[in-house]
Structures are given as C-alpha cells and as structure tokens.
Amino acid sequence: MHFEFATAARILFGCGARQQLPTLAREFGTRALIVTGANGERFSPVLSAIEASGIRCSRFSIPREPTIDLAREGALDGRGFEVVIGIGGGSVIDAAKAIAALIPNSGEPLDYLEVIGRGRPLENTPLPWIAVPTTAGTGAEVTRNAVLDSPEHGVKASLRSPLLLARVALIDPELTFDLPARVTAATGLDTLTQLVEPYVSARANALTDLFCVEGMKRVASSLAVAFRDGHNRSARESMSYASLLGGLALANAGLGVVHGFAAPLGGMLHAAHGALCAAVLPAGVAVNIRALRQRAPSHEALTKYREIARILTGNPQAETGDAIACIADLVAKLSISPLRAYGLRAQQIPELVEKAARANSMKANPIALTIDELTEVAERAL
C-alpha cells in the first residue's frame, strides 16, 4: 500500500461553526479581504461579527465563475491584507484561493496556470486563507487547485499547488439551508460525481476509498431529501459532510471522464459546474463500464462500480450495470437539464471532445477512452 494525503491545515465542521470565524481570522492578522459572490449581503451578519472583533475588512465580489481577469483584479485589491476569507460556493472559494496565491507572487494568473499558462510553480507562500463554503458541492475548501475561466481560450484551467491548501476549512451546514432546490440538485450531483470518480480513479487509494464509500452513503440517503426540503437539518448536514469527503478524495485521488468534460464545457457554455457534471455523469458512467468490460474485464474499477450500485440502490444484490440505471434515475428525479439546454450544439462536439481528451482530470479515468467513446459520452449528454 502506498499513498500520500494532504489537506487543509484545520477542518472545522458543524452547524453554527461560522461563529468561530472572527477568532480564527484574528490568528492571521487584523486586515482581511473577504471574497463573496454577487449576493454576499446575505452573509452580512458573519461579516459584521468579523469587523466587531477588530478586523478591518474589505469585500471583493465574484459575480460569476471566476475568470483570469477577476483573479488578477482581486490580487491587486488584496495588496496589504493579511488574510483572505472566501465565503460562498465553489466559484468564490476558488477565487479566494487564487487571490491568496497571487497577492505575494507576480499577480499574473497566466504565469502559473496549467494547460493555457506558463505553469510556473509559485515562488512565494500564498497569504493564509480561510474557506467557508455555502453550498454542498465542490469540496473546494480542501482542494489544492483553483479553476479559472479564460474566455479568450474558451476553456477553464487550474492553478495547482500543494501551497494552495486552505489554512482553515470551516464548514457550517446551516449556510446551505437557503439554497434553492435547483442549486441543491446540481451541487449535490457534483458531490456524487466527486465521490464516484475518485473511487474508480486510476489513482485511488485505501484512504480515499473510505471517504468515497461513506460519502456515497450520505448522498444516497440525503440528496433527494435536501432537494425536497432544504431546511431538513440532518439531510443538509449529510450533504455538507459528503461534499467535504468528495473534496478530500478528489484532491488526493483525482477525478475522471465527467470532470474531463466539465473543464472545457465550463469554458464553452459558462454554465454552473455542478449542472454540467450532473448532465454528463450518467453517460460517463455507462461508457466507462462498457469500455472496462470490453478491454479490461478483470479491472478493479468494475468491482467498485458494483459497490457503487449497491450503495446507491441500498440493494446488496445489485450488480455493476445497476449503477448506470440508478444514477440516471437520480439525475432525472432531480430535474437535471441536458447540455443542449445550456446552448451546446451537435456541431461543437468534435471541439469539445478534443479539449476533453487533453483535460487534466481525464488522466485519472480508470481506462483510457477512445475518441469514439468520448464522442458517445458527449452525444448522450447532449
């Protein structure tokens, strides 16, 4: 057995945990840059509590998925601050992560971005930063990459470094209670994808498998409940926990074909990451299982897909193929739209497939998929 595991320096989890934020922030200084989404006003009580503790705050708002330009602007705004706090969904958390990294470095995202940038390692340690997720989706509070959109390249790419890990990940499930059902569905299926893909990943290990199995059990019991009843405390708590477990798993075991598509789709369609993953997930699982059966019938990933089917259906007799139907059922039950609803056209599929084949996440897929198989995934998700 060989593995390496890295995560945020501290993880605090629990309803009401946000009350500890001022004390935690004070440990890093008295000047904080607060990164929020477009409607960050809903976190005013949290911000007031930070200011009341004697910390001078300035707010930087991320109105949409973060772009290279926004990260650059945030890093300029953030000069002179001692700590960055990101309060919001995955976009906000990733923006805070990138800004904290860029402030003490060159400030130019393209110096460090992989795929489309120069991919240089960070010269200086990022500013300490605190992640406070308000969706149960991306697990970005414990990942070591920040995804930035480059409208110019029509693709999303990552800043990636072990130095990007948060100093504190503070997960308060109460912050997710008011999420609309549509966001609960998309972010919740991103969570499921981030548990399924690391579990069958070529880089899976014994420790991340534990997180994936427990996380999938939580999603199976809680996602549909949280979708119907957003104020169901135990369902929301379970989904926040599952999201954290997915983040821990993906940051250490990688992802696969669904996220391989999500990166270029995010750049081409500018739709929410979770909605795109949810749309691709059923086809990604179906094509992966078929490719494994055809070319690697004794592959461990097939046993793991059977385990996924058993966890998600609750039926200990379920077989590998049942994973396909139960995931498709869940996606349908949560009213997930196909990719054409976000503007993808059939003519764009060759371009999409070409970009997906080169995506970083694709490298961890349990089996290398052919161009024909990738095209089939895209066509089925359309």
Residue type, 208: T
Q: Name which of 21 and 277 has its Cβ closer to Zn ion.
A: 277
Query: How far apart (Å, rounded) are the C-alpha atoms in residues 205 and 181?
Result: 33
Residue least distant from Zn ion (Cβ): 190
Q: Which stretch binds Zn ion (CB under 5 A): 34-42, 69-77, 111-119, 184-192?
A: 184-192
Q: Name which of 94 and 190 has its Cβ closer to Zn ion.
A: 190
Could you tell me which of 248, 15, 6, 35 has the C-alpha nearest to residue 129? 35
Query: How far apart (Å, rounded) are the C-alpha atoms in residues 18 and 320?
Result: 41
- Cβ-contact 280, 259 below 8 angstroms: no
Q: Which stretch binds Zn ion (CB under 5 A): 128-136, 179-187, 188-196, 340-348?
A: 188-196
Report, in Å, the least distance between residue 138 CB and Zn ion.
6
Binding of Zn ion by 197 (CB under 5 A): no
DSSP reduced 3-state for 151:
coil
Report, in Å, the least distance between residue 31 CB and Zn ion.
32
Q: Name which of 50 and 93 has its Cβ closer to Zn ion.
A: 93
Exposure on the CB side of residue 214, measured as CA atoms within 13 A: 17
Report, in Å, the least distance between residue 277 CB and Zn ion.
5
Q: Name which of 47 and 352 has its Cβ closer to Zn ion.
A: 352
Q: Which stretch binds Zn ion (CB under 5 A): 161-169, 190-198, 304-312, 358-366?
A: 190-198
Q: Name which of 127 and 212 has its Cβ closer to Zn ion.
A: 212
Q: Name which of 190 and 376 has its Cβ closer to Zn ion.
A: 190
- Cβ-contact 340, 382 below 8 angstroms: yes
Report, in Å, the least distance between residue 97 CB and Zn ion.
15
Report, in Å, the least distance between residue 202 CB and Zn ion.
18
Query: How far apart (Å, rounded) are the C-alpha atoms in residues 242 and 113?
Result: 29
Site string for Zn ion, 283-302 (x = CB under 5 A): --------------------
Q: Which stretch binds Zn ion (CB under 5 A): 47-55, 152-160, 183-191, 315-323?
A: 183-191
- The CA-based diameter of the chain, rounded to the nearest angstrom, is 63
Report, in Å, the least distance between residue 80 CB and Zn ion.
33
Could you tell me which of 248, 315, 320, 245 has the C-alpha nearest to residue 288? 320
Per 3-state DSSP, the chain is made up of helix, strand and coil in percentages (nearest 5) of 55, 10, 30
Exposure on the CB side of residue 10, measured as CA atoms within 13 A: 14
Binding of Zn ion by 190 (CB under 5 A): yes
DSSP reduced 3-state for 137:
coil
Report, in Å, the least distance between residue 147 CB and Zn ion.
9
Residue 67: alpha-carbon gap to chain centroid: 16
- Cβ-contact 244, 13 below 8 angstroms: yes
Report, in Å, the least distance between residue 190 CB and Zn ion.
4
Q: Which stretch binds Zn ion (CB under 5 A): 16-24, 44-52, 185-193, 313-321?
A: 185-193
Q: Name which of 65 and 190 has its Cβ closer to Zn ion.
A: 190
Q: Name which of 50 and 255 has its Cβ closer to Zn ion.
A: 255
Q: Name which of 34 and 179 has its Cβ closer to Zn ion.
A: 179
Report, in Å, the least distance between residue 66 CB and Zn ion.
15
Residues in binding contact with Zn ion, number by CB under 5 A: 1
Contacts for 4 with CB less than 8 Å, ≥ 6 apart: 252
Q: Which stretch binds Zn ion (CB under 5 A): 174-182, 187-195, 302-310, 374-382?
A: 187-195
DSSP 231-292: T-HHHHHHHHHHHHHHHHHHHHH---HHHHHHHHHHHHH---HHHHHHHHHHHHHHHHHHHH
Q: Name which of 149 and 190 has its Cβ closer to Zn ion.
A: 190
Binding of Zn ion by 65 (CB under 5 A): no
Work out the burial of residue 16: count CB atoms within 10 Å of its CB; fewer than 13 is exposed, 13-18 middle, 19 or more buried. exposed
Binding site for Zn ion (CB under 5 A): 190
